[in-house]
């Protein structure tokens, strides 16, 4: 997957949020008094970033963005593209610049790379589990505050799809909306009255009665929330072809293929972002050439 996916994704507000997060991450570390005490600005160094395990890679283009905040120009060569699977020991990037700048940026660069690669790696496993089915894997909004866009980008790098980036991408009626509005029908009516044109609407259904009611409304998608397999299978048979279907809740690598077997268009998995183990990378100094 070429790194132009990164440039396509991180535009406008997505890029603004990413740069703000990088700035905050560097600020959290404060001044690197250790490196400042050991090296001058003219002490140049060369480093390589190496994968310490087999993993899908995501977040490599963030490395030069982090280094740009250091004030002096660094040379960065990315040896692989985001979305590629690398083996243990692969040098994924080479960097040259002031030693103090590389050391100041080291942990921030690795934190992004390890976290996002972990998400991409787990996503790729779920995508593989769905191979050959008609079901598309989606992420959720269960992301770390401030990292919504990088984490959802990592899902794309792993082969998954984004559910929605912001609350305005799709209007989603969840249990609290429906309970407060009084019914699914009334909630949909209010949304379509207030918003003109009205964005697509998705309705989260907890029971077969709610599915029956939602099917009578002008909506784009029905989500079956935390239903057992038999109930979900019955619910899917009730939904007309004009309405998309999504299953969410209690999905794991062990169960996702069986869930896909009952025929939903989408399965959304919160674990992709909130529970993905970080991949392991390290930065190592090497002699200057």
Q: What percent of the chain has pLDDT over 90?
A: 96
- Closest by CA position to 219, among listed 203, 241, 238, 197: 203
190-212 mean pLDDT: 97
pTM: 0.96
What is the pLDDT at residue 1? 46
Distances (CA, A) of 263 to 161, 162, 233, 235: 18, 20, 8, 11
**CA torsion angle 245 247 252 258 (round to 10):** -60
Q: For the segment 3-60, what is each residue's pLDDT rounded down to a tens digit?
A: 689 999 999 999 999 999 999 999 999 999 999 999 998 999 999 999 999 999 999 9
Q: Write phi, then psi, for 13 (nearest 5 degrees).
A: -65, -30
The model's confidence at residue 160, banded by pLDDT at 50, 70 and 90, is very high
Query: Cβ distance 116 to 278 under 8 Å?
Result: no
Q: What percent of the chain has pLDDT over 70?
A: 99
- Closest by CA position to 189, among listed 181, 212, 205: 181
What is the pLDDT at residue 265? 98
What is the pLDDT at residue 185? 97
How far is residue 275's CA from residue 140's CA, in Å, rounded to a whole number? 12
What is the pLDDT at residue 71? 86
DSSP states along 103-146: HHHHHHHHHHHHHHHHHHHHHHHHHHHHTTSSPEEE--S---TT
How far is residue 248's CA from residue 150's CA, in Å, rounded to a whole number? 22
What is the pLDDT at residue 27? 97
Q: For the segment 60-107, what is each residue's pLDDT rounded down to a tens digit?
A: 999 999 999 998 999 999 999 999 999 999 999 999 999 999 999 999
How far is residue 219's CA from residue 185's CA, in Å, rounded to a whole number? 10
Query: Cβ distance 243 to 215 under 8 Å?
Result: yes
Catalytic residue annotation: 107, 142, 174, 204, 225
Q: Write phi, then psi, for 182 (nearest 5 degrees).
A: 110, -30
Question: Would you give the DSSP letter of residue 199?
Answer: P
């Amino acid at each position: 997957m070429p790194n132009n996916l990164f440039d396509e994704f991180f535009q406008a507000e997505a890029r603004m949020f990413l740069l703000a997060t990088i700035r905050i991450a560097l600020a959290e570390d404060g001044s690197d008094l250790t490196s400042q005490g050991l090296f001058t600005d003219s002490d140049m160094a060369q480093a390589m970033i190496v994968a310490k395990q087999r993993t899908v890679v995501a977040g490599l283009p963030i490395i030069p963005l982090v280094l740009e905040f250091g004030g002096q120009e660094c040379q960065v060569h990315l040896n692989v593209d985001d979305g590629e699977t690398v083996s243990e020991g692969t040098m994924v990037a080479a960097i040259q610049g002031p030693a103090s700048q590389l050391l100041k940026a080291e942990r921030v660069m690795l934190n992004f790379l390890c976290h996002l690669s972990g998400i991409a790696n787990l996503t790729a496993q779920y995508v593989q589990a769905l191979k050959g089915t008609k079901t598309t894997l989606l992420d959720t909004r269960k992301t770390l505050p401030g990292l919504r866009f990088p984490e959802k980008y990592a899902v794309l790098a792993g082969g998954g799809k984004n559910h929605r980036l912001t609350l305005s991408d799709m209007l989603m009626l969840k249990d609290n909306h429906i309970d407060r509005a009084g019914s699914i029908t009334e909630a949909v009516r209010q949304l379509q009255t207030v918003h003109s044109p009205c964005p697509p609407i998705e309705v989260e259904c907890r029971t077969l009665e709610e599915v029956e009611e939602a099917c009578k409304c002008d909506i784009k998608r029905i989500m079956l929330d935390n239903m057992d397999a038999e109930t979900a299978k019955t619910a899917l048979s009730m939904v007309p072809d004009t309405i998309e279907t999504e299953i969410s809740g209690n999905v794991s690598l062990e169960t996702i293929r069986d869930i896909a077997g009952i025929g939903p268009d989408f399965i959304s998995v919160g674990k992709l972002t909130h529970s993905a183990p970080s991949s392991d990378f390290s930065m190592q100094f090497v002699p200057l050439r």
